[in-house]
């Protein structure tokens, strides 16, 4: 097929710049438009010097999208702003991959409850496909609007999905303890992510109320025989990127270590970006890559299944997964543009 023409709306945030990094070497895609309302007219390399000598792309106002013939648009916008773009351009010829949380949940009512704002485009919920290829590959191939999963949900769902799908565990008592680097909070400075706050420090946040709790619950519930109930607690690590999620599940009946291994092998044996490990992974094992590394084991003493997953929150947890979704939507090789080797050390 012809080279895809790409637009990135909100290109100066972490996920926007990561999309540029990944798509720069994609053999079947070319970035035609990048936007920023506050930095229009500047070259992206002025903002991210790592791009010097690699691209001359100039940031433009978002309204310029009407003047380009694009195949797909990536929305690297905050929640609330993305739904406005989708509403305005829903009937346009290009497909949309939305990296915000605006269409990840089941209804406007659930969205309002967890995000604390009204949703203005209910129609989007009727057609949006949750963009986790390991669960919804065939639906993604036919979609025009993708709700790209959050970084915490990606790590958490992939860690527990095989157990719920195979009916090995009680889905109403899953505990997920997750830790993320500071880039998960976005590029805008906040007191909680200042160097002096994060350095030599470690803390939980969003206890009982983090909006990714319901995103994880809804997706696991979709494959469970009963409603999934997830106790999800995030923590902020003093690192820039990466997520480790540790999940604890109770088996429904007597099982063995082999039963656990078989469930994960059955779910992920043919998945290009899930690597099953024989030891717990670290964030540096996946840094800069689109891999999710997973280790699962059964503790006979406590009768719990323990699963550890590791992803790069900006790649598999955001921009890399978005490109994976694009590849599926346009019938490209799934791994195209996404075969970066992890950076370690």
Q: What is the dihedral of CA 79, 116, 109, 246, to 10 degrees?
A: 70
CB 192 within 8 A of CB 185: yes
Instruction: Report how far apart, in Å, the C-alpha atoms of 198 and of each of 185, 190, 315 are.
Output: 12, 11, 22
- Regarding beta strands 304-311 and 292-299, do their DSSP bridges make them parallel or antiparallel, or are they unpaired? antiparallel
Phi, psi of 212 (to 5 degrees): -75, -15
A 10 A CB-CB count for 74 gives: 30
Sequence-separated (6 or more) residues with CB below 8 Å from residue 254:
none
Task: State the burial class of residue 100 (Cβ atoms within 10 Å of its Cβ: 0-12, 13-18, 19+).
Answer: buried
E strand or H helix that includes residue 31 = strand 29-35
Q: Which of 151, 178, 263, 338 is catalytic?
A: 151
In terms of Cα–Cα distance, which of 318, 270, 268 is closest to 293? 268
Instruction: Report how far apart, in Å, the C-alpha atoms of 213 and of each of 116, 177, 222, 264 are.
Output: 15, 11, 15, 23
Q: Is 292 a catalytic residue?
A: no
Q: How far apart are CA 269 and CA 257, in angstroms?
A: 17
Q: How far apart are CA 75 and CA 85, in angstroms?
A: 8
Region of 116 (left: φ > 0; alpha: ψ -120 to 50; beta: rest) is left
User: What are the residues facing 174 on neighbouring strands?
Assistant: 230
Residues designated as active site: 151
């Amino acid at each position: 097929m012809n080279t895809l023409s790409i637009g990135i709306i909100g290109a100066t945030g972490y996920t926007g710049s990561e999309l540029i990094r990944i798509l720069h070497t994609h053999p079947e895609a070319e970035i035609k438009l990048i936007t920023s309302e506050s930095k229009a007219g500047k070259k992206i390399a002025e903002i991210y010097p790592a791009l010097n000598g690699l691209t001359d792309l100039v940031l433009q106002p978002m309204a310029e999208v009407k003047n380009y013939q694009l195949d797909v648009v990536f929305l690297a916008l905050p929640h609330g702003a993305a739904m406005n773009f989708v509403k305005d351009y829903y009937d346009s010829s290009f497909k949309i991959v939305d990296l915000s949380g605006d269409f990840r949940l089941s209804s406007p009512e659930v969205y309002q409850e967890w995000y604390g704002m009204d949703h203005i485009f209910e129609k989007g919920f009727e057609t949006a496909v949750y963009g986790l290829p390991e669960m919804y590959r065939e639906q993604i191939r036919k979609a025009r609007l993708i709700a790209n999963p959050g970084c915490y949900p990606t790590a958490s769902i992939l860690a527990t999905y095989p157990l719920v799908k195979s009916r090995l565990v009680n889905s109403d008592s899953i505990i997920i303890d997750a830790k993320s680097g500071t880039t998960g909070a976005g590029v805008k400075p906040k007191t909680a992510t200042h160097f002096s706050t994060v350095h030599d420090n470690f803390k939980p946040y969003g206890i009982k109320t983090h909006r990714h709790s319901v995103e994880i619950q809804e997706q696991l519930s979709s494959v469970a025989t009963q409603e999934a109930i997830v106790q999800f607690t995030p923590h902020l690590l003093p690192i820039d990127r990466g997520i480790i999620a540790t999940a604890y599940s109770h088996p429904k009946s007597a099982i063995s270590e082999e039963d656990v291994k078989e469930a994960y092998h059955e779910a992920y044996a043919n998945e290009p970006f899930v690597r099953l490990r024989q030891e717990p992974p670290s964030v540096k094992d996946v840094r800069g890559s689109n891999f999710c590394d997973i280790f699962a084991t059964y503790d006979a003493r406590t009768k719990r299944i323990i699963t550890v997953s590791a992803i790069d929150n900006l790649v598999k947890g955001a921009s890399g997964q978005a490109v994976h979704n694009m590849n599926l939507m346009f019938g490209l090789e799934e791994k195209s543009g996404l075969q970066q080797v992890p950076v370690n050390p």
